[in-house]
Homo-oligomer: A and B are copies of this chain.
Amino acid sequence: MEQCHATALKAAGMKATPKRLAILEMLEAEPGYASPEELWKRLKDRFDRLGLPTVYRNLEELSASGVLSKVIHPNRQLYYYFCSNREHHHHFVCLSCRKVEDIPACGIEALEQEVTRRNGGKVLSHILQLNGLCGGCADNGEIR
């Protein structure tokens, strides 16, 4: 598993530093998304020195290289999660417990073609995310 992370980092052209591996490991164990500061607080114990900027920087780099994904959160702060599904897909995120669930086919390719056909131009990226309450949280009733 950790070997797997080292490989993924190498494939992304990034050095496999202990801190990077720890960030990936922690986020992989996480059932949902997490903020840079939360991860930092929990990782500090495992290193005599670990700066918050380092966590920010790594999360952003890992997200840029596709190893991690970012949540679009209503509060506009940064959150990241680990998803091992390497196919193109999207997510349903629970705003209460932060669980992230895969959404299978997104059907956006057809939408892209339609937009391009009608208006011209070029679609560079798309955002598709469902926000809500997961099964467990919906049963409980309310937002955390």
Contact = CB atoms under 8 A, between A and B. Distances in A.
A87 to B, nearest CB: 16
Contacts of A95: 124
The SS class assigned to the A binding surface is mixed
A103 B144 CA distance: 33
Given A76-B76, A127-B72, A130-B112, A121 B138 contact: yes
A114 B120 contact: no
B120 A134 contact: yes
Contact of A123 (B106, B131, B136): B131
A24 interface: no
B131 A126 contact: yes
Of listed A103, A106, A112, residue having the most chain B CB within 10 A: A103
Interface of A: 72, 76, 92, 94-95, 101, 103-104, 106-108, 111-112, 114-115, 119-139
